[in-house]
């Protein structure tokens, strides 16, 4: 399966390609990680928030009992604090201002209205419970499609409508209209909550000596958090230090600037002691981290032989009440238009998108971002085309996928596919799931009343896309060169400072492997320093599956330069011509002997008298920047195949088998990649079958505890069988590609296609996620009734 | 999610506990805390006093005679699952216990707490009604007994009076000729059921008890279920199961949604098939 790659580290078992156990697991698996909630600071007090109980209302008054005045703060107290503004430069984008504490109106259930501080969280909650709100309820905007209709209530009155942004993309759609196969459907995905094991959390304190606010926050992008805080608080960035310690899963939820972060920063600077807020599960479900809610009206055009002629789509995304910082309210919907064609060739295409404001929490980019919804819509349509053409679903895909000989390939929306063999991934998935055996089994019928179905899906994941892509979005954050600092310590250890963060991705291991690859030193001697604006180079942080490509590239560049400087010093110590020595296995070697990096470091720091006269004064500390040769992104991809059993009378879906054939370019640590895929798969299963945050017509979120918001557990996640292909990216260091999100993209489509395959003979079609027992039985009963009526 | 302030007592004998409950009208008993804990944290209940009965050794006893098993209210789901308590149901209760929630919840959750909480979706509420179990309730005034189906009167509503405690559960021995079937539909392992079917059918005695549970209110308990099997209970009861009668019963219990009714009937059918297997 995997070919051994030729890198300098060769067979050391620690370099690029090694299945090295994660270094960080020694602390994390023993419960010794240090998360925000573990931080103890003298004088710390706890904050609880009074949150809006209504989705949309005018605030007439906030009543604080006399005895709690001084412990409760409202918008009126927050002088000098600006609202959160995440503006996109895309033409027509309407700006929302998110006050950190509500003023005038509340626009979502859970919106912060007042901040209560007390020695313990329980006491702070007692205070919060004593505050009463006088609210005048307004009609809630709870349905994104109705929100687009004239006469709808308005989330932001001065806009005149509820549309953050409308986009249009068209390539010659007229050419597709005469296609013999034309299938149109409405497809939708539910609103979800990201639900990392650890929620958000903030500990804010102020250091008078440094004149510096220190914010500990469970954050993926500490440098961006700092910029956002500086803007809201009107402070110089140098007066703010953001530290993100161990983080228990991010998925996008920890990629945004929180009103809570701004509130606590203000509070600690005004009350004179450190303060803390730890998100609880109800706050998480009710008040934050919404994602995924898409609606598609989509038509696929194809020839009789299944060749795609075009896709025409109108996509709507429920963006919630505010544009969140830095990704904005339109990233998701506008991204739909550019990625909907997926890995397929097609001559015609049209997509119109709407980012709609509603009285719900802001939508945030969740692992896979728009891709999970796009893959769901497109792959369900491909199966319908297959049914119309009388072909196996796998066959239709093989006919339309971009072919390896076309690489690199610019697709219809001008996405630049760097490399890969997509049909091969699909063929391998079909073989591994043994499609023929399943068809045979289906022919025999089942004895337990359940029906078997098989489904496939395939996607591509653009990752680590950089300046050229994000400049076009014009959002508050545009990634440029990624930097890393490499420093040899006097005793020969290596410290690496990177601005990305690790919240489950294993960067402390994989970046050490990169350093080992470049310098040959034992990974045990490599320390990765991340998650602290005071200690690391600026970075947009960890998002968009970019960290291995970008920070990995930067670490390689810094280590390369560090190695070069060490080599020159080593040559002097060996009394060799620099041209005649090489750096190998952590030492500089010449014909007459070798000198270790440790000895070289000792010389630079402790015995400078032995250094060559022309030594690079930069010494053994190097900061280097990196960008891939092309920054339009790496394209990893995977074919997923699922076998399910569906009970049409109870509606239960059991996943019997699951196969993933993945190509993420060169894998720095295949074991870490497997972990990423399994974790993504679990979330994809959640999207497919379990997770849904429903709202009632007054905009109340209805799944407010984990008894109602169902997450898949260990028993619900199939033991997937993984297969890797490794087509290097031509543009990146080592040929790596970003793979962090892919696992979560394809499962809903594969599982839905499998369910539909099982139920199609009954005349049933599921076009909405999650596929719940109720939805299945409802559809089955409706189909049976239709059949009775027809008879 | 922190509870409102409350006082806490952990009495060492039953009478002391009963006296505390009698003296404080808003007191709440805590046993395993698996249901009360979340309710306290969500501030859905705000008692002045929480009386922790986990120290009452008398309520942890389990004794069986030839025709009855008496389980103290504090016996945990895990005690039953692991066979630490005697069994007179020929494995029926063990099977039910093993599929309640997750192991961590079963380690602490008690049979008395589960019944007292009277969640319509709870397993014991349906299973013990099908098995024909009774409860002993005790207060300072004395003791009384009630059938499980008389004890659970609605969603989160029991027949417990103020100052009363569930002391013990009496489970009749299952006849050698009696078939047991228990099915539930959960969306995931450990989740509360959306539909429960429990049947105790004795073709030899021509009797059947049938329970349709996890509806919005107390389960439907049919103590003489012949009508569900075409008017008589015989060896061919599986073939004679009448889904339409089940559907009517569920409709009569106020479930207007045909989809939900269909799921309930299908789950009950699974239980019947399991009993007959
Ligand atoms: C995640 C999760 C999943 C669950 N899934 C299931 C499931 O699938 N099926 C299922 O059946 N249950 C399930 N449960 C509930 C679980 O079985 C609880 O153990 C049970 O409902 C309550 O038992 P307890 O001892 O913890 O009671 P507590 O939480 O201590 O008390 C519950 C209520 O009963 C009262 N009470 C307790 N003991 C007595 C007594 N002796 N006399 C009078 N009143 C008393 C209390 O005052 C309180 O009102 C689940 C719970 C959790 C947390």
- Element spanning A127, H or E: helix A121-130
Ligand 1: atom nearest CA of A706 is: 1
- Smallest Cβ distance to A650: which of B1, B189, B267? B267
- Verify whether the Cβ–Cβ distance A715 to B189 is below 8 Å: yes
Chain B residues whose beta carbon lies within 8 Å of the beta carbon of residue A774: 259-260, 263
- Verify whether the Cβ–Cβ distance A774 to B4 is below 8 Å: no
Residue A789 has a CB neighbour count (10 Å cut-off) of 7
d(CA A520, CA A10): 10
Mean pLDDT score, B102-108: 97
Mean pLDDT score, B181-192: 95
Measured on CA atoms in the order A101, A105, A110, A114, is the torsion positive or negative? positive
- Could you tell me the domains of chain A? 10-33+481-626 (3.30.365.10), 368-464+632-790 (3.30.365.10)
Q: Which three-class secondary structure state does DSSP give residue B168?
A: strand
Longest CA–CA separation in chain B, Å: 58
- Smallest Cβ distance to A710: which of B191, B258, B266? B191
Mean pLDDT score, A643-662: 97
Q: What are the phi and psi torsion angles at B152 (to 5°)?
A: -90, 110
Chain A residues whose beta carbon lies within 8 Å of the beta carbon of residue B42: 282, 705
Q: Give the residue, out of B10, B114, B182, B184, with the most ligand 1 atoms within 8 A of its beta carbon, to mutate for a pocket test.
A: B114
How much is the CA Rg of chain B, to the nearest whole Å? 19
Q: Which band of pLDDT confidence, cut at 50, 70 and 90, is reported for residue A346?
A: very high
CA dist A703 → A90, A712, A726 (Å): 34, 15, 41
- Both tokens of A250, joined, read 């991010």
pLDDT of residue A288: 87
Mean pLDDT score, B132-141: 98
Q: Is residue B101 lining ligand 1, measured as CB closer than 6 Å?
A: yes
pLDDT digits (tens, 9 = 90+) for A230-242: 999 999 999 999 9
- Verify whether the Cβ–Cβ distance B262 to A781 is below 8 Å: yes
pLDDT digits (tens, 9 = 90+) for A418-471: 999 999 999 999 999 999 999 999 988 777 889 999 999 999 999 999 999 999
ipTM surpasses 0.85: yes
- Smallest Cβ distance to B1: which of A120, A282, A774? A282
As a whole-number percent, the residues of chain B with pLDDT over 70 amount to 100
Closest CA to A218 of A38, A81, A46, A464: A38
pLDDT of residue A10: 57
Mean pLDDT score, B13-39: 97
- Both tokens of A136, joined, read 């005048």
With contact defined as beta carbons under 8 Å apart, do A707 and B192 qualify? yes
- Verify whether the Cβ–Cβ distance B188 to A707 is below 8 Å: no
Q: Is residue B116 lining ligand 1, measured as CB closer than 6 Å?
A: yes
Best of A51, A650, A771 to substitute, by most chain B Cβ atoms within 10 angstroms, is A650
A448 forms bridges with which residues in the sheet?
Answer: none
Instruction: Enter the DSSP assignment of A610.
Output: G
Residue bearing the CA closest to ligand 1, atom 40 = B166
The alpha-carbon gap from B65 to the nearest alpha carbon of chain A, in Å, equals 38
pLDDT of residue A97: 96
Q: Could you tell me where the DSSP H helices lie in A313-392?
A: 331-339, 371-389
Q: Is residue B123 lining ligand 1, measured as CB closer than 6 Å?
A: yes
Residue bearing the CA closest to ligand 1, atom 28 = B33
pLDDT of residue A446: 78
A182 forms bridges with which residues in the sheet?
Answer: A301
pLDDT digits (tens, 9 = 90+) for B241-275: 999 999 999 999 999 999 999 999 999 999 999 99
A85 interface with B at CB cutoff 8 Å:
no
The alpha-carbon gap from A126 to the nearest alpha carbon of chain B, in Å, equals 7
Expressed in angstroms and rounded, the spacing between residue A49 Cα and the centre of ligand 1 is: 30
Q: Is residue B190 lining ligand 1, measured as CB closer than 6 Å?
A: yes
Mean pLDDT score, A520-537: 97
Q: What's the angle, vertex CA A686, arms to CA A259 and CA A659, rounded to 5? A: 135
pLDDT of residue A3: 37
As a whole-number percent, the residues of chain A with pLDDT over 70 amount to 99
With contact defined as beta carbons under 8 Å apart, do A533 and A222 qualify? yes
Residue A498 has a CB neighbour count (10 Å cut-off) of 30
CATH number of B57-172: 3.30.465.10
Closest CA to A364 of A221, A495, A519, A500: A221
A580 interface with B at CB cutoff 8 Å:
no
d(CA A624, CA A642): 44
Mean pLDDT score, B88-104: 97
B273 interface with A at CB cutoff 8 Å:
no
pLDDT digits (tens, 9 = 90+) for A79-134: 999 999 999 999 999 999 999 999 999 999 999 999 999 999 999 999 999 999 99
Residue A650 scores a pLDDT above 70: yes
d(CA A135, CA A111): 13
Q: Which band of pLDDT confidence, cut at 50, 70 and 90, is reported for residue A6?
A: low
A126 interface with B at CB cutoff 8 Å:
yes
**Beta strand A45-51 pairing with A275-278:** parallel
Mean pLDDT of chain A: 96
Ligand 1: atom nearest CA of B184 is: 8
Mean pLDDT score, A331-353: 96
- Verify whether the Cβ–Cβ distance B263 to A651 is below 8 Å: yes
Q: Which band of pLDDT confidence, cut at 50, 70 and 90, is reported for residue B221?
A: very high
The alpha-carbon gap from A359 to the nearest alpha carbon of chain B, in Å, equals 24
Residue A209 scores a pLDDT above 90: yes
Q: Is residue B50 lining ligand 1, measured as CB closer than 6 Å?
A: no
CATH fold of B7-52, please? Answer: 3.30.43
Residue bearing the CA closest to ligand 1, atom 6 = B101
CA dist B61 → A431, A786, B64, B174, B244 (Å): 58, 57, 10, 21, 43
How much is the CA Rg of chain A, to the nearest whole Å? 28
Q: Which CATH number fits domain B179-276: 3.30.1650.10, 3.30.390.50, 3.40.50.2300, 3.40.640.10?
A: 3.30.390.50
Instruction: Enter the DSSP assignment of B215.
Output: S
Residue A557 scores a pLDDT above 80: yes
A710 interface with B at CB cutoff 8 Å:
yes
Q: Could you tell me where the DSSP H helices lie in A137-220?
A: 144-147
Best of A37, A447, A649 to substitute, by most chain B Cβ atoms within 10 angstroms, is A649
pLDDT of residue A88: 93
d(CA A519, CA A521): 6
HSE of A539 in the Cβ direction (CA atoms, 13 Å)? 37
Q: Do B179-276 and B7-52 fall under one CATH topology?
A: no
pLDDT digits (tens, 9 = 90+) for A264-296: 999 999 999 999 999 999 999 999 889 999 999
In total, the C-beta contacts within 8 angstroms joining chain A to chain B are 64
The alpha-carbon gap from A656 to the nearest alpha carbon of chain B, in Å, equals 15
Residue A383 scores a pLDDT above 80: yes
pLDDT digits (tens, 9 = 90+) for A28-54: 999 999 999 999 999 999 999 999 999
Q: Which band of pLDDT confidence, cut at 50, 70 and 90, is reported for residue A8?
A: low
Q: Where are the domains positioned within chain B? A: 7-52, 57-172, 179-276
Mean pLDDT score, A8-17: 79
- Verify whether the Cβ–Cβ distance B188 to A690 is below 8 Å: yes
Residue A681 scores a pLDDT above 70: yes
pLDDT of residue B39: 96
d(CA A676, CA A664): 11
pLDDT of residue A614: 87
Mean pLDDT score, A157-168: 97
- Verify whether the Cβ–Cβ distance B262 to A126 is below 8 Å: no
Residue A503 scores a pLDDT above 90: yes
Instruction: Enter the DSSP assignment of B138.
Output: E
Q: Is residue B158 lining ligand 1, measured as CB closer than 6 Å?
A: no
Q: Is residue B28 lining ligand 1, measured as CB closer than 6 Å?
A: yes
- Read off the pTM: 0.97
pLDDT digits (tens, 9 = 90+) for A308-317: 999 999 999 9
Ligand 1: atom nearest CA of B36 is: 29
Chain A residues whose beta carbon lies within 8 Å of the beta carbon of residue B5: 122, 126
With contact defined as beta carbons under 8 Å apart, do A191 and A360 qualify? yes
Q: Is residue B113 lining ligand 1, measured as CB closer than 6 Å?
A: yes
Q: Which band of pLDDT confidence, cut at 50, 70 and 90, is reported for residue A474?
A: confident
**Beta strand B49-52 pairing with B62-64:** unpaired
Expressed in angstroms and rounded, the spacing between residue B119 Cα and the centre of ligand 1 is: 8
Q: Which band of pLDDT confidence, cut at 50, 70 and 90, is reported for residue B208?
A: very high
Residue bearing the CA closest to ligand 1, atom 33 = B117
pLDDT of residue B66: 87
Residue bearing the CA closest to ligand 1, atom 53 = B34
B277 interface with A at CB cutoff 8 Å:
no
With contact defined as beta carbons under 8 Å apart, do A386 and A349 qualify? no
Ligand 1: atom nearest CA of B102 is: 3
Mean pLDDT score, A738-744: 96
With contact defined as beta carbons under 8 Å apart, do A681 and A257 qualify? no
B192 interface with A at CB cutoff 8 Å:
yes
Q: What's the angle, vertex CA A395, arms to CA A394 and CA A401, rounded to 5? A: 85
pLDDT of residue A4: 40
Mean pLDDT score, A665-676: 97
With contact defined as beta carbons under 8 Å apart, do A23 and A523 qualify? yes
- Verify whether the Cβ–Cβ distance A652 to B185 is below 8 Å: yes
* Burial state string for A159-189 with b = 16 or more CB within 10 A and e = fewer than 16: eebbbbbbbebebebeebeebebbbeeebbb
Chain A residues whose beta carbon lies within 8 Å of the beta carbon of residue B183: none
Residue A573 scores a pLDDT above 60: yes
């Amino acid at each position: 399966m995997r070919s051994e790659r030729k890198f300098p580290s060769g067979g050391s078992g620690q370099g690029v390609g090694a299945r090295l156990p994660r270094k960080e697991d020694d602390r994390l698996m023993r419960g010794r990680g240090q998360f925000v909630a573990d931080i103890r600071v003298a004088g710390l007090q706890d904050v609880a928030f009074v949150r809006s109980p209504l989705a949309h209302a005018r605030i007439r008054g906030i009543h604080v009992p006399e005895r709690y005045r001084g412990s409760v703060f409202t918008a009126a107290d927050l002088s000098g604090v600006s609202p959160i503004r995440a503006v996109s430069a895309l033409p027509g984008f309407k700006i929302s201002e998110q006050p950190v504490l509500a003023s005038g109106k509340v626009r979502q259930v859970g919106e912060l209205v007042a901040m209560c501080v007390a020695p313990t969280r329980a006491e702070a909650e007692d205070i919060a419970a004593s505050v009463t709100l006088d609210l005048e309820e307004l009609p809630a905007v709870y349905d994104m499609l109705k929100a687009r209709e004239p006469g709808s209530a308005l989330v932001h009155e001065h806009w005149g409508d509820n549309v953050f942004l409308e986009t249009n993309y068209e390539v010659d759609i007229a050419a597709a209209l005469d296609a013999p196969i034309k299938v149109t459907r409405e497809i939708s995905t539910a609103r979800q909550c990201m639900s990392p094991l650890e929620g958000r959390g903030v500990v804010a304190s102020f250091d008078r000596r440094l004149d510096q606010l220190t914010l500990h926050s469970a954050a993926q992008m500490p440098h961006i958090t700092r910029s956002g805080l500086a803007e809201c608080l009107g402070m110089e960035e140098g007066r703010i230090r953001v530290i993100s310690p161990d983080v228990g899963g991010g998925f996008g939820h920890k990629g945004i600037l929180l009103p809570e972060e701004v509130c606590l920063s203000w509070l600690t600077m005004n009350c004179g002691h450190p303060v803390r807020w730890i998100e609880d599960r109800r706050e998480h479900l009710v008040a934050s981290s919404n994602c995924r809610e898409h609606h598609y009206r989509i038509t696929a055009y194809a020839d009789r032989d299944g060749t795609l002629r075009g896709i025409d789509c109108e996509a709507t995304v429920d963006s919630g009440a505010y544009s969140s910082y830095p990704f904005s309210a339109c990233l998701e919907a506008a991204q739909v238009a550019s990625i909907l064609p997926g890995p397929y060739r097609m001559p015609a295409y049209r997509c119109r998108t709407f980012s709609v404001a509603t009285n719900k929490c802001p939508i945030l980019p969740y692992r896979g971002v728009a891709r999970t919804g796009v893959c769901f819509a497109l792959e369900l349509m491909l199966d319908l085309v297959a049914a119309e053409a009388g072909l196996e679903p796998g066959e239709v895909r093989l006919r339309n996928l971009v072919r390896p000989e076309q690489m690199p390939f610019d697709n219809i929306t001008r996405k630049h596919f760097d490399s890969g063999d997509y049909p091969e991934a699909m063929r391998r998935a079909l073989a591994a799931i043994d499609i023929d055996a399943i068809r045979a089994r289906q022919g025999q019928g089942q004895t337990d009343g359940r029906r078997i179905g098989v489904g496939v899906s395939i996607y591509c994941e653009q990752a680590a896309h950089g300046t050229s892509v994000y400049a076009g979005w014009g959002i508050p954050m545009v990634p440029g060169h990624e930097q890393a600092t490499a420093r040899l310590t006097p005793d020969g250890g290596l410290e690496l400072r990177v601005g990305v963060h690790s919240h489950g991705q294993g960067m402390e291991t994989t970046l050490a492997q990169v350093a080992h690859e470049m310098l040959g030193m034992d990974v045990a001697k490599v320390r990765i320093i991340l998650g602290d604006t005071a200690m690391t180079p600026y970075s947009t942080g960890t998002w968009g599956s970019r960290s291995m490509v970008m920070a990995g590239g930067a670490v390689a560049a810094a280590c390369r330069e560090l190695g070069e400087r060490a080599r020159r010093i080593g040559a002097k110590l060996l009394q060799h011509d620099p041209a005649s020595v090489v750096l190998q296995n952590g030492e500089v070697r010449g014909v007459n002997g070798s000198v270790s990096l440790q000895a070289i470091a000792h010389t630079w720091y402790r015995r400078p008298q032995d250094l060559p006269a022309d030594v690079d004064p930069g010494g053994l500390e190097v900061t280097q920047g990196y960008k891939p040769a092309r920054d339009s992104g790496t394209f990893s991809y995977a074919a997923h195949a699922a076998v399910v059993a569906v009970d049409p009378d109870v509606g239960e879906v059991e996943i019997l088998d699951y196969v993933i054939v993945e190509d993420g370019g060169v894998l720095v640590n295949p074991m870490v990649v497997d972990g990423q895929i399994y974790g993504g798969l679990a979330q994809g299963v959640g999207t497919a079958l379990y997770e849904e945050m429903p709202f009632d017509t007054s905009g109340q979120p209805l799944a407010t505890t984990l008894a109602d918001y169902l997450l898949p557990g260990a028993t619900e996640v199939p033991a997937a069988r993984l297969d890797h292909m490794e087509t290097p990216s031509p543009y990146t260091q080592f040929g790596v590609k970003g793979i962090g999100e892919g696992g979560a993209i394809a499962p809903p489509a594969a599982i839905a296609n499998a369910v539909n395959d099982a139920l199609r003979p009954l005349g049933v079609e599921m076009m909405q996620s999650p596929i719940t027992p109720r939805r299945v039985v409802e559809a089955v009963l409706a189909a049976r009734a239709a059949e009775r009526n027809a008879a | 999610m922190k509870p409102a302030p409350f006082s806490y007592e952990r009495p060492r004998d039953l009478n002391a506990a009963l006296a505390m409950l009698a003296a404080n009208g808003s007191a709440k008993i805590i046993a395993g805390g698996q249901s009360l804990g979340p309710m306290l944290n969500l501030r859905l209940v705000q008692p002045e006093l929480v009386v922790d009965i986990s120290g009452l050794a008398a309520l942890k006893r389990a004794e069986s005679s030839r025709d009855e098993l008496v389980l103290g209210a504090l016996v945990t789901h895990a005690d039953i699952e692991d066979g630490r308590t005697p069994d007179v149901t020929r494995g029926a209760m063990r099977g039910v216990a093993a599929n309640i929630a997750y192991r961590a919840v079963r380690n602490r959750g008690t049979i008395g707490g589960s019944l007292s909480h009277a969640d319509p979706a709870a397993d014991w509420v349906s299973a013990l009604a099908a098995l024909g179990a009774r409860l002993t309730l005790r207060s300072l005034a004395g003791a009384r007994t009630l059938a499980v189906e008389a004890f659970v009167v609605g969603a989160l509503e029991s027949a417990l009076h103020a100052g009363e405690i569930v002391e013990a559960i009496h489970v009749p021995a299952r006849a050698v000729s009696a078939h047991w079937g228990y099915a539930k539909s959960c969306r995931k392992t450990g989740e509360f059921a959306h539909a429960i079917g429990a049947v105790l059918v004795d073709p030899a005695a021509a009797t059947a008890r049938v329970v349709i549970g996890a509806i919005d209110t107390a389960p439907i308990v049919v103590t003489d279920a012949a009508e569900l099997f075409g008017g008589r209970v015989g060896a061919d009861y599986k073939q004679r199961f009448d889904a339409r009668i089940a559907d009517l019963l569920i409709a009569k219990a106020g479930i207007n949604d045909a989809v939900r009714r269909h799921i309930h009937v299908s789950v009950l059918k699974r239980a019947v098939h399991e009993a007959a297997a």
